[in-house]
Amino acid sequence: MARSTKRKYLAGIAVAALTLGLAACSGGGGGGGGVDSAGNSTVVWSTWGSADELTRYKEFNADFMKRHPDIKVKFQPVAGYGDYHSKLLAQLTSNTAPDVFYVGDDMIGQFVASKRLMPLKSLMESKDSKTKVDDFFPGLFGAAENDGEIYAAPNDSNPDVLWYDKEALKTAGITEDPATLAENGEWTTDKYLEMNAKLHDKKLTGSMFWNYWATHWSWLSSQGVASPYSDSGEFVGNKDAGTVAAMKQLGGLFQDGTFVVADTLPDGAGADSVFVTHKAGFFVQGRYTIGTVKSAGVQDSYDIVRWPTPDGKAAPTGVATSFLAINGKTKVKDAAFTFWTEFLSAEGQIFRLKGGGNAVPSIKGADEVVLEDDYPAHAQTFLDMRDIGFEDYPAEAQIPGLPVAISEEFQKLYEGKTDAQQSLDAVAKLVEDRSAKK
């Protein structure tokens, strides 16, 4: 699911094999469930997702209803991410929204600010909860946590690891293994850039990145630069010499072609195609890449490694998530929470992610799904990065459209249209202007 959120930053997402919009799925104007004359509850919930993800959800729904014969689950899959949130906000305003629903990490701040979401902290600490607050990895709540209250919780997660192609590295004359270097504390920025230079010299792409928050902020964090936001939410990265230097370095690597913005690759020759045909050394993505390399039959050539750092020690980097929230005006609060807490529980995440699932659990007690097939060889890296990673900065994620606007500014840097200082100044102005309108 975190991949779906990422794709929103890129170009939007169309869900395969789905043609039903939210209104069509709900038989008109949508709306939550209720309680029938026999005392049985109906919980209506909604999300977007790939065909495989939606199949998993339907299987979970069926299993849930077997265990809870007094609760009927009505599922409303939505055909695309692009207009999902605007429709959902309109439904919340008109009191016709589902009882439980997904929210993307680029939109969760707006939904929290709408005051239409149910506060969850006390429910999470109740005797009926299978999802205590401390069960989740704290860095993943992001803007879903506000003023000490929690309004949604991460469904699962996807740390942005560096997938690497051993065949491409071999073609470039690289004999050292990145994951082995990382295990020995030797996976440094210098070593990584040395490998990228060799790949580039062989007319191969060094590294491919998607242009969204986890790329630029992970680069800063991995290079030992502090958050570009102050504790009060002001953007201060443009005033910090270390931030400017790190962004100058990142921009230069894109400008000379060593790094490539995956979003800009042409149809028919996209990043997945480039990677599985051994034309790139590194591709920064999540666990869902397992499906990409396995479907191409080349999985033996690939492994993963964390982001490099100047001293070779692990550093926090971005973890993409999406969130599950409950309608603050649901008519079936108890049943909705039962569904919500079981969906997000360790058992629920194992059910949804086992057998080649495409994400990493966001809750303790479900890590077995990541390690079950011993693939990739260093799958533990997913868990290690999740444990110390972070969601998009709340000061940014709380403002609708801001993460995308910031990425657009950095795209100008990557294309050589601006320098690092100009880009960071533009970002600071964006944050200031949009914060004032919040």
Walk me through the domains of the chain, giving residue ranges and CATH numbers: 2-158+322-388 (3.40.190.10), 161-317+399-437 (3.40.190.10)
User: Helix and strand tally (H, E) in the chain?
Assistant: 20, 14
**Through-space distance between the first and last CA atoms of the chain, rounded to whole angstroms:** 28
Provide the 8-state DSSP code for 229. B
pLDDT of residue 285: 97
Alpha-carbon dihedral angle through residues 129, 133, 139, 144, given to the nearest 10 degrees = 80
Three-state SS at 336: helix
**Beta strands per DSSP E along 78-170:** 100-104, 145-146, 149-150, 153-154, 158-159, 161-165
Query: Which strands make up the sheet holding 100-104, listed edge to edge?
Result: 71-77, 41-47, 100-104, 322-326, 153-154
Among 430, 425, 438, 429, residue whose Cα is nearest residue 398: 438
The angle that helices 333-344 and 51-67 make with each other, rounded to 10 degrees, is 120
**pTM of this structure:** 0.90
* Inter-CA distances, 371 with 134, 293, 354, Å: 23, 17, 10
- Where b means 16+ CB within 10 Å and e means fewer, 162-197 reads bbbbbebbebbebeebbbebbeeeebbbebbbebbe
Q: What type of residue sits at position 282?
A: F
pLDDT of residue 18: 29
pLDDT of residue 146: 92
pLDDT of residue 52: 82
CA distance 162 to 277: 17
β-strands 280-285, 205-209 pairing: parallel
- Where b means 16+ CB within 10 Å and e means fewer, 109-133 reads bbbbbeebbbebeebbeeeebbbee
Task: Give Dmax (Cα) for the chain.
Answer: 72
Enter the tokens of residue 325. Answer: 């929230």
- Where b means 16+ CB within 10 Å and e means fewer, 239-257 reads ebeebbebbbebbbbbeee
Q: Model confidence over 418-429: pLDDT tens digits?
A: 999 999 999 999
pLDDT tens series, the chain, 438 aa = 444 444 444 433 222 222 223 333 333 345 899 999 999 999 999 999 888 888 999 999 999 999 999 999 999 998 778 889 988 999 999 999 999 999 999 889 889 999 999 999 999 999 999 999 999 998 999 999 999 999 999 999 999 999 999 999 999 999 999 999 999 999 999 999 999 999 999 999 999 999 999 999 999 999 999 999 999 999 999 999 999 999 999 999 999 999 999 999 998 889 999 999 999 999 999 999 999 999 999 999 999 999 999 999 999 999 999 999 999 999 999 999 999 999 999 999 999 999 877 899 999 999 999 999 899 999 999 999 999 999 999 999 988 889 999 999 999 999 999 999 999 999 999 999 999 886
